[in-house]
Every structure is written in C-alpha cells, then in structure tokens.
Amino acid sequence: MTTQTYTVAGMTCGHCVSSVTEEVQAIDGVTDVDVDLATGRLTVTADKVETDAVRAAVQDAGYSLVDG
Amino acid sequence: MTTQTYTVAGMTCGHCVSSVTEEVQAIDGVTDVDVDLATGRLTVTADKVETDAVRAAVQDAGYSLVDG
C-alpha cells in the first residue's frame, strides 16, 4: 500500500471537497482518500497510486492538481 | 405572481448555488429561483413569497440571508 499527496487548486467549500473525494475514491485500487480544504492537500492511498488517474479524477471533479 | 430579491452570504462556488437553488425551489408555491454567485443575489418568484420560508430554506442549504 502506498500513500501519495498532491495539492488541488480551486476548491472553495465542502461541496468541492466532496466532489474531489468521490471522483478519486472511484479510481480502481484506491482504498483511502483525504482532502483538506484549507490547504488543498489531497492524500491518496492505493496499492499503487497512479498520478495520471488522480489528475484525471480531479479534473473530472472540476479542479486541477498543482505541479502534478 | 411576486418577485422578491434577497442577498445570501457564504456561497463560494457553483455547488453552493445549486444547493441554495434546490432548497428554495422546494418551497410550496415557488415558481422560479435565480441565484447569482458573484453578488449573492437570490431572486424568488412565487404566488406569494414568504420570507420566513426562504430564510429557512437558505439555512437548510447551509447559508444565511443578509439583512433578512
């Protein structure tokens, strides 16, 4: 199991956090997702975290990864 | 038909707008709802707009009326 952290830009409220969490949780193999609104920090736990999949999920939610 | 405008505090994104719109639209007799994120302006059209019901709906969505 691997944990990887990212920074998400553009989240402004709890609805945004929910949207990002749902999209990232839907990625195959992801077992845990934590999103912190204040810092934009996204923490993903999976057998093998695929950054491309995380980036796509965050974009599907309507936000973007910073430096990702 | 009457149209009444209010100002909603605390909305930060389109999800917030959707939440407020849904709650206010659910009020009996309301036929049209418009929410502007940039200004916080909420416009309600109904046979008779009941401010107490609008205030309650906005609070149910997690926000508050300004001066209302």
Instruction: Dump pLDDT digits (tens) for A15-51.
Output: 999 999 999 999 999 999 999 999 999 999 999 999 9
CA angle in degrees (0–180, nearest 5) for B24-B29-B31: 70
Chain A residues inside the 8 Å CB shell of B13: 12-13, 15-16
| Residue A49 Cα to chain centre, angstroms | 11
Chain B residues inside the 8 Å CB shell of A40: none
Which one, of B2, B11, B1, lies nearest residue B66 by Cα? B11
pLDDT value of position B65: 97
For an interface test with B, the pick among A8, A11, A12 (most B C-beta atoms closer than 10 Å) comes out as: A12
Q: Please give the Cα distance from A55 to A57 (Å, whole number).
A: 5
Shortest Cα distance, chain A CAs vs residue B19, angstroms = 9
pLDDT value of position A56: 97
Whether A67 has a pLDDT exceeding 90, the answer reads: no
**Overall average pLDDT of the B27-52 stretch:** 96
Whether B25 has a pLDDT exceeding 60, the answer reads: yes
pLDDT value of position B67: 75
Whether B68 has a pLDDT exceeding 60, the answer reads: no
Residue located via tokens 């949780």: A25
Q: Please give the Cα distance from A40 to B37 (Å, whole number).
A: 22
